[in-house]
Structure 1
Amino acid sequence: MTTIASVSNTDAYYLLHEGTQYQSYQFLGAHFEERDGCKGVNFAVWAPNAKEVNVSGSFNGWDGSHHAMAMNEGIWTLFIPELEEGTLYKYEIVTMDGDRYLKSDPYAFHSEVRPETASIVTSLEHYEWQDGVWQENNSSNQHLQQPLLIYEVHLGSWKRKEDGSFYSYVDFADELIDYVLERGYTHIELMPLAEHPLDSSWGYQVTGYYSVTSRFGSPKDFMYFVDQCHQKGLGVIMDWVPAHFCKDVHGLSRFDGTHLYEYADSRKGENPTWGTYIFDYGRPEVVSFLISNALFWLDMYHLDGLRIDAVYSLLTLNFERPEAECIRNEQGGEENLEGIAFLQKLNAVVFARYPDVLMIAEDSSSYPGVTTPVAYGGLGFNYKWNLAYTWHTLEYMKKNQTERSGQEDRLTQSLLGIRDENYVLPYSHDEMDPPTKSLLGKMSGEDNWQRFANLRALYTYTMGHPGKKLLFMGNEFGQMDDWDSEGSLEWELLQFEEHQHFAEFVKQMNHFYIAEKALWELDFEQNGLTSLNADDKEDGLVILLRKSKTNNEQLIIINNFKPETHEGYRLGVEEPGRYQEVFNSDKPEFGGSGMTNANMLETQEWSCQGNPYSIMVNIPPLAGVIFKYIPSEG
């Protein structure tokens, strides 16, 4: 059972102001206490520049004058007896200028369902976790050498009830978990869960960093969901948003009448593209707030990882800023030195407490060392989304087959940098957001058969390419239209044979990936990959050799990105033995043409493509075929 420990105010306040208080949620916010035999709630909020702070709520008719707080070291506190769980409250802030307004609690554990904005007195104690086996089995810190196959989900639009209302966390536990596991995924990644006022922001403009969104139920309902995931063998990753926050008046913006959480200089403190405020990473209390929040989700909800959104915007002072408005740091560069220091501190603290957790950077920059440990000068993440891979592969796949000749380097240039970072290869929600079209909608082709074949070929290539994998919901059965975040996935498509075939292809491909060590054990080692004729300008073929750690398992992945077939194609190989076809995206059960290699292939002492031996293979059109090496006996 996870508990919130009692802390000394003197020590806690000191560490908060030093920027080293990493569990500030244990004393800030609303906490049940007993004083002199009287049970009640202690409220505490950081608002050093306020003239007056009161607690206003459903218990006093929203008249804060009855419950004035006292300040010590910038922290306002008040114990109110006899309050019960579920009590609604806000902080009534009176600024030095005499303005008066209501603010939600930055550390609230629960909030009203939007559009209402009050915080709710809530205890996170006394949930009895049953995931001990999961926690014990996931403490090896060997995930770089393990399969990682992530299903990205926006809970609000995965599936809705017939009346259009949301599923609950309990509903998702009953339906979503088994669906994801049946399809072979190792982890589910949930788009931002922290409370947010606007559905269409998808959760990326947060008002309640410590409050799991009430759209789908209570905090303990979400604990139940995570617990069920773990008991059934599924890891849970959350999108986390420390790069910016929305300007809604009840949130963090100008919290005590001053720029408390955001930079005061609007050039640093505002993101004009997103219309949001940027955290002041140089303020110790803000650093404590954010790092405590990261640990909070790991501590209290047992999450297995955080995907950190918009890392590039933390690294530079001039993210999407017009050149005429660019600013410099004290060293004359464009780097946000405080943002970089925050990320390094974040990862150092998180890994010191949770060495096995996943810290994944969504970073579109070329900043070096994102997954290099902090001790060696890096940012300290253990994974980075390879967005360049996504962009280049999709640009290639959009091209008509007649335009692809000589363009294969769009696919293969990523092979040159597999050791630069520890990469996740993502086909995320950004590739489904209108008006970009779904993945299937991006595929070129003269008809639906070619479009599906192209997507199967792309998926097979991605499975063979070094790096962990992520796929956004709906792409596993070939959603046709853009993703509608205010509706539901197009589940009705599964009544059609071509979508049934495609869903079966993705399911079998995922399970094949999990079973084959050669596809993930040496993802970030140069000796785990060899490119065989990897840039054929005429045939449109990209051929990879993947190996396991012991070299006992070898797979040849042949990818054909043109509609022509290749019967009796001679392929050079390194060692003598036999090769067996073990996966083929062109199988009829996947919707393919059925061109396969049914017989075991024996190597011949016929040098080809720089290798001493070769085999003769049949390569179907617009397809990926995988062969497994079986060494010669003796």
Structure 2
Amino acid sequence: MSTTASSPPSSSNRTPTIHASDIEHIVHANHWDPFGVLGPHPVGENGRPAIAIRAMLPDASKAWVLDLSDGEPGRQIAMDRIHPAGLFEGLLSGRSSAPPYRLVVENGEGHSWQLVDPYRFGQILSDFDVYLLGEGNHLRSYDKLGAHVREVDGIRGVHFAVWAPNAQRVSVVGNFNHWDGRRHPMRNLGPTGLWELFIPDLQPGEVYKYEIKSRYNDYLVTKADPYGFYAERRPQTASIVWDIDRFRWEDGEWMARRAERQALDAPISVYEVHLGSWRRRAEEDGGYLSYRELAEQLAAYVSEMGFTHVELLPISEHPFDGSWGYQPVGLYAPTSRFGSPDDFAAFVDTLHRHGIGVLVDWVPAHFPRDQHGLGFFDGTHLYEHEDPRLGEHRDWGTKIYNYGRSEVRNYLLANALFWLDKYHIDGLRVDAVASMLYLDYSRNPGEWIPNAFGGNENLEAIDFLKKFNEAAHAQFPGILTIAEESTAFPGVSRPTYIGGLGFSLKWNMGWMNDTLRYFSKDPIYRKYEHGMLTFSLVYAFSENFMLPLSHDEVVHGKRALLDKMPGDQWQKVANLRLLLSYQWTHPGKKLLFMGGEFGQWREWNESESLDWHLLQWPDHQGVQRMVADLNRIYRSEPALHQIDFEWQGFDWLELHDWENSVLAYLRKGKTPGDELVVVCNFTPCLREGYRIGVPRGGGYRELFNSDASFYGGSNAGNGGYLEAIPEHHAGRPYHLRLTLPPLAAVILKPQHDA
């Protein structure tokens, strides 16, 4: 390196070995290549080799290099202050390479300490990692980017890495360096836009951000780590260093059997949960339960109720409670509202050890504008499109990922794999898929840009979703991917090799809308809406459907499920029991939002606990008992779950009796003769002697009756048993003469062949 006579004043008479412009850039935190200045560098001294060691130490009044060539305690070499801001340089004469060393620092009050120089370490990321990250094909990028506790050359510390291709300079800042961007500028890894720095002696629990100085317009901002594994609890916004690999899992039995438990012919009954409002503390002003408290209570409750899975509303870190997690900032961080990453891992582990699968809502459709988040990350529209016609959801006030940019795709794909890998998540329900598929989603003419072929399909997002499903299923066989998709886009749950998107399941929004609209009608008018129920079977096997009665249906003035039902209180409760019975016996996997299983009266409020006190009343106890029994029957009877996605698993017995608002159908398992008869009476009229044709004779046991007094009903029914009459009816060789309870469903099981 050249010397210059125009350097700032030094604390000695020696001329610094670097140019004044390098000094200025370093002390003002503007240097593109801080490793080209700081740390050890070979220099010439009167024709002899020497090593110059430079460090930016704003707190120091004096500093020394502690030469450890001969081991401890080492030999101290005084450093010169080559700039008043705290830039020091020490010269080790007669050396062609740097020895092992530490820095000794003394402040103006006479206190001294030692530190390991971050700039003595070489590049940490391998060239292959840099290549894959730059190409956007590093599916485990979370193992490389972000903050990782590790050991380098025998020194423990934290390795930081971030992507900011349009930055002039990136620094790690935190409490450990007084949030001073001059102290820890990162190594620039060239055209890939990656920056890295290993900071010795940092420990898990350190709070940090990235301070980014853009190449454009002197834009300066501090950002949370896009790959941060832990975050401060809102309203604080910094990331927290954490070792997410230290948790010891004990869910081996679940993981070994997961694929069979989540097969498409298995019973899948999902309890949808918002962790912040499922249950709260009775004391402390109704504060949150921790992940570990929730784990024990939720596992016990879900086991008692017979659900096979829980589905969590998004648990990625999010700044605004009212977004319910659907506007995440920290995609790689379980929210700190309920504890640490270890606590969340313990939550999943506990549910698995109770035989309960854990699904989470995943949000690659949009992200919020919060300044510490991804928006305008390095002074450019890095993660989002610059054009608001492509890069904004005006309805939600959020930004849209640029799915066509390889690094952004990599970020999202790796995030999906991260949850499946590091936290043993059993499936991802992808939120707002329709908003990803269509360029004109919720946009007026002129507010969107057609694709290259003039259409409204977002080809880049479609390709991304296919790649996501291919990667998730290839890397973690047996997991589920579930699409919340509300349009008729074809092949959502069909394999990508035949042109589908590759999801395991798709929410059946048509069934949900039609069913809830039907049930909201007074029974006297239901005969005019009969087609709302029968229409679902026209398309029921076009996708692998899940039937959702989700959180979206019990908020924003839509009223709770029980309150949607018409009639007096008895009829409302009976209607709710009938609705859930119809859902559990209709083809498709099941999902029910918390509170629906005991008849919550109020709309869901994310800031309050469910109304568990309602369970002191028999009506609510009855609904809860019934759901538990429905789950038990659903899991034990193959006819209700084995053939959900093919017409061979279903047959109408009565679909045309609109006048009486009665439906009857057959559900079938894979074994010949494994059948159940389901009959639903959607009016409050008791119907005696009602005839239904059935395919076989003999006895039929009444497995279930939603009108049972045990559930709060009137206890009308068939005495638990019926004998088929050997006379043709409705094209069947036998028929049953039934008593149909009011606003109720019954399930009958053949006992033997005639």
| Fold shared per TM-score above 0.5 | yes
Residue aligning to 2:202 = 83
Report the Cα distance in structure 2 between the residues aligned to 1:175 and 1:601, rounded to whole angstroms. Answer: 41
Q: Secondary structure at the match of 2:665?
A: strand
Residue aligning to 1:43 = 160
Report the Cα distance in structure 1 between the residues aligned to 2:445 and 2:665, rounded to whole angstroms. Answer: 42
Question: What do the CA deviations read for 1:247-288 (whole angstroms, capped 9, x no partner)?
Answer: 000000010000000112211000100100000000000011
Partner AA of 1:281 in structure 2: Y
Q: Secondary structure at the match of 1:138?
A: helix
The answer to whether the Cα contact below 8 Å between 2:655 and 2:663 also exists between their aligned partners in 1 is yes
Q: Secondary structure at the match of 2:519?
A: helix
Residue aligning to 1:111 = 231
Residue aligning to 1:567 = 688
Question: What do the CA deviations read for 1:482-501 (whole angstroms, capped 9, x no partner)?
Answer: 10111110111111121112
Which has the higher mean CA deviation after the structures are superposed, 476-485 or 133-142? Answer: 133-142
Residue 455 (structure 2) pairs with residue 336 (structure 1): no
Of 399, 404, 428, which aligns to 2:550?
A: 428
Q: Secondary structure at the match of 1:259?
A: coil
Of 397, 404, 408, which aligns to 2:526?
A: 404
**What's the offset of the Cα at 1:568?**
1.2
Report the Cα distance in structure 2 between the residues aligned to 1:602 and 1:495, rounded to whole angstroms. Answer: 39
Residue aligning to 2:669 = 548
**What's the offset of the Cα at 1:507?**
1.3
The answer to whether the Cα contact below 8 Å between 1:347 and 1:359 also exists between their aligned partners in 2 is yes
The answer to whether the Cα contact below 8 Å between 2:312 and 2:361 also exists between their aligned partners in 1 is yes
Q: Secondary structure at the match of 2:417?
A: helix
The answer to whether the Cα contact below 8 Å between 1:7 and 1:27 also exists between their aligned partners in 2 is no
Of 236, 242, 251, which aligns to 2:373?
A: 251
Of 130, 153, 158, which aligns to 1:13?
A: 130
Report the Cα distance in structure 2 between the residues aligned to 1:411 and 1:18, rounded to whole angstroms. Answer: 50
Report the Cα distance in structure 2 between the residues aligned to 1:165 and 1:591, rounded to whole angstroms. Answer: 34
Residue 647 (structure 2) pairs with residue 526 (structure 1): yes
Residue 616 (structure 2) pairs with residue 499 (structure 1): no
**What's the offset of the Cα at 1:535?**
3.0
Report the Cα distance in structure 2 between the residues aligned to 1:166 and 1:595, rounded to whole angstroms. Answer: 43
Of 184, 198, 204, which aligns to 2:326?
A: 204
Partner AA of 1:39 in structure 2: R
Gaps of 5+ in 1: 1-5
Partner AA of 1:515 in structure 2: S
Q: Secondary structure at the match of 1:51?
A: strand
Q: Secondary structure at the match of 1:158?
A: coil
Larger Rg: 2
- Structure with greater contact order relative to length (CA < 8 Å, sep ≥ 6): 1
Residue 735 (structure 2) pairs with residue 614 (structure 1): yes
Q: Secondary structure at the match of 1:352?
A: helix
Residue 487 (structure 2) pairs with residue 370 (structure 1): no
Report the Cα distance in structure 1 between the residues aligned to 2:592 and 2:677, rounded to whole angstroms. Answer: 23
Of 635, 639, 650, which aligns to 1:514?
A: 635
**What's the offset of the Cα at 1:417?**
1.3
The answer to whether the Cα contact below 8 Å between 1:141 and 1:355 also exists between their aligned partners in 2 is no
Change (3 A) 1:599 1:320: closer
Q: Secondary structure at the match of 2:134?
A: helix
Partner AA of 1:455 in structure 2: L
Question: What do the CA deviations read for 1:515-552 (whole angstroms, capped 9, x no partner)?
Answer: 11100001112111001111312110011100110123
The answer to whether the Cα contact below 8 Å between 2:544 and 2:588 also exists between their aligned partners in 1 is yes
Report the Cα distance in structure 1 between the residues aligned to 2:423 and 2:124, rounded to whole angstroms. Answer: 20
Report the Cα distance in structure 2 between the residues aligned to 1:563 and 1:498, rounded to whole angstroms. Answer: 17
Q: Secondary structure at the match of 2:182?
A: helix
Report the Cα distance in structure 2 between the residues aligned to 1:84 and 1:615, rounded to whole angstroms. Answer: 72
Residue 371 (structure 2) pairs with residue 227 (structure 1): no
Residue 579 (structure 2) pairs with residue 458 (structure 1): yes
Which has the higher mean CA deviation after the structures are superposed, 6-15 or 271-280? Answer: 6-15
Residue aligning to 2:656 = 535
Determine what percentage of the aligned residue pairs are the same residue: 49
Change (3 A) 1:497 1:606: same
Report the Cα distance in structure 1 between the residues aligned to 2:257 and 2:451, rounded to whole angstroms. Answer: 45
Change (3 A) 1:7 1:282: farther
**What's the offset of the Cα at 1:141?**
7.6
Q: Secondary structure at the match of 1:406?
A: helix
The answer to whether the Cα contact below 8 Å between 1:461 and 1:624 also exists between their aligned partners in 2 is yes
Partner AA of 1:449 in structure 2: W
**What's the offset of the Cα at 1:600?**
3.0
Aligned length: 627
Q: Taking structure 2 as the reference length, what is the TM-score of the superposition? A: 0.82
The answer to whether the Cα contact below 8 Å between 1:205 and 1:244 also exists between their aligned partners in 2 is yes
The answer to whether the Cα contact below 8 Å between 1:189 and 1:239 also exists between their aligned partners in 2 is yes
Q: Secondary structure at the match of 2:670?
A: coil
The answer to whether the Cα contact below 8 Å between 2:390 and 2:448 also exists between their aligned partners in 1 is no
Which has the higher mean CA deviation after the structures are superposed, 590-599 or 518-527? Answer: 590-599
Residue 496 (structure 2) pairs with residue 379 (structure 1): no
Question: What do the CA deviations read for 1:42-87 (whole angstroms, capped 9, x no partner)?
Answer: 1110000011111110101111111111211210111111111111
**C-alpha RMSD over aligned residues:** 1.3
Q: Secondary structure at the match of 1:237?
A: strand
The answer to whether the Cα contact below 8 Å between 2:485 and 2:509 also exists between their aligned partners in 1 is yes
Report the Cα distance in structure 1 between the residues aligned to 2:565 and 2:388, rounded to whole angstroms. Answer: 42
Residue 272 (structure 2) pairs with residue 155 (structure 1): no
Q: Secondary structure at the match of 2:176?
A: coil
Partner AA of 2:651 in structure 1: T
The answer to whether the Cα contact below 8 Å between 1:517 and 1:548 also exists between their aligned partners in 2 is yes
**What's the offset of the Cα at 1:134?**
0.7
Partner AA of 2:161 in structure 1: A
Report the Cα distance in structure 2 between the residues aligned to 1:37 and 1:603, rounded to whole angstroms. Answer: 80
Residue aligning to 2:69 = none
Q: Secondary structure at the match of 2:259?
A: coil
The answer to whether the Cα contact below 8 Å between 1:16 and 1:284 also exists between their aligned partners in 2 is no
The answer to whether the Cα contact below 8 Å between 1:280 and 1:286 also exists between their aligned partners in 2 is yes
Report the Cα distance in structure 1 between the residues aligned to 2:670 and 2:125, rounded to whole angstroms. Answer: 50
**What's the offset of the Cα at 1:323?**
2.6
The answer to whether the Cα contact below 8 Å between 2:696 and 2:753 also exists between their aligned partners in 1 is no
Q: Secondary structure at the match of 1:580?
A: strand
Report the Cα distance in structure 2 between the residues aligned to 1:531 and 1:521, rounded to whole angstroms. Answer: 17
Partner AA of 1:277 in structure 2: K
Report the Cα distance in structure 2 between the residues aligned to 1:599 and 1:511, rounded to whole angstroms. Answer: 18
The answer to whether the Cα contact below 8 Å between 1:7 and 1:26 also exists between their aligned partners in 2 is no
Report the Cα distance in structure 1 between the residues aligned to 2:358 and 2:640, rounded to whole angstroms. Answer: 22
Which has the higher mean CA deviation after the structures are superposed, 126-135 or 468-477? Answer: 126-135
Change (3 A) 1:7 1:93: closer
**What's the offset of the Cα at 1:599?**
5.3
The answer to whether the Cα contact below 8 Å between 2:393 and 2:399 also exists between their aligned partners in 1 is yes
Residue aligning to 1:146 = 266
Residue aligning to 1:346 = 468
Partner AA of 2:175 in structure 1: S
Change (3 A) 1:140 1:174: closer
**What's the offset of the Cα at 1:17?**
2.6
Question: What do the CA deviations read for 1:561-595 (whole angstroms, capped 9, x no partner)?
Answer: 01111111111112222211110000011111111
Question: What do the CA deviations read for 1:387-428 (whole angstroms, capped 9, x no partner)?
Answer: 110000000000011111131110111111121000000000
Residue aligning to 1:69 = 186
Report the Cα distance in structure 2 between the residues aligned to 1:355 and 1:238, rounded to whole angstroms. Answer: 17
Which has the higher mean CA deviation after the structures are superposed, 486-495 or 466-475? Answer: 486-495
The answer to whether the Cα contact below 8 Å between 1:443 and 1:455 also exists between their aligned partners in 2 is yes
